[in-house]
Structure 1
Amino acid sequence: MRGDLIRVLSSVEEKANELKLDGYEPDVVLLGRKAYEFVREQVNEEFGDEEEIFELSGLKIRVVEELGEDGVVIDSKILGLGLGGAKRFRVVL
């Protein structure tokens, strides 16, 4: 449903904006398998398709099984350096 999709997109954009305010450049959304499937169903329902999704709000999507129902917006260039660069959010199914 449109409201669920808007809620997820708002969460992604909110976390990306928080990272930008902290001086990072978010470029990837990590989604747990459950979260990804939920978002994919919402997008396909909205647009009448049965496609995989590769981007949310201009950020590349990567599926990380261990995240389950959560997502993390990251700056992939900084993440491994231990300097922050990540904001987690929950996808309410």
Structure 2
Amino acid sequence: MRGDLIRILSAVEEKANELKLEGFEPDVVLVGGEAYEFIKAQVNEEFGGDEEVLELSGLPVRIVDELGKDAVVIDSKALGYAPAAKRFTVVR
């Protein structure tokens, strides 16, 4: 499912670029539990093995089960006092 993996990586890069254009410095991707399992399956299918996904498009990945099927690219230094996050759906 190379197309799904490309779609996910493109979404991460798009959201990171949107944040950069707004003056933020995206530094982490928060991924829901269901989304993480889907991403992990896509990566392992594409590259073989049974490895954990530690980063996407150069940004570290952190699992937040409550996000479910979604992921959020954030600037962790600005989060809380500015709208420094961009959310997208991973699993449809």
Bin of the TM-score, shorter chain as denominator length? over 0.9
Aligned counterparts, 1:19-34, within 5 A: 19-34=19-34
- Report the equivalent of 1:85: 84
Q: Which runs of 5+ in 2 are unaligned?
A: none
CA distance in 1: counterparts of 2:59 and 2:49, whole angstroms: 20
Aligned counterparts, 1:1-93, within 5 A: 1-80=1-80, 82-93=81-92
> How many equivalent residue pairs?
92
CA distance in 2: counterparts of 1:65 and 1:50, whole angstroms: 20
The DSSP-based 3-state class of the residue aligned with 1:42 is helix
8 A contact 2:70–2:90 mirrored in 1:
yes
The alignment-based identity, stated in percent, is 71
8 A contact 2:12–2:57 mirrored in 1:
yes
The DSSP-based 3-state class of the residue aligned with 2:72 is strand
The DSSP-based 3-state class of the residue aligned with 1:88 is strand
- Any runs of at least 4 consecutive aligned residues in structure 1 with deviations exceeding 6 A, and if so which? none
Please tell me the residue identity of whatever aligns with 2:83: G
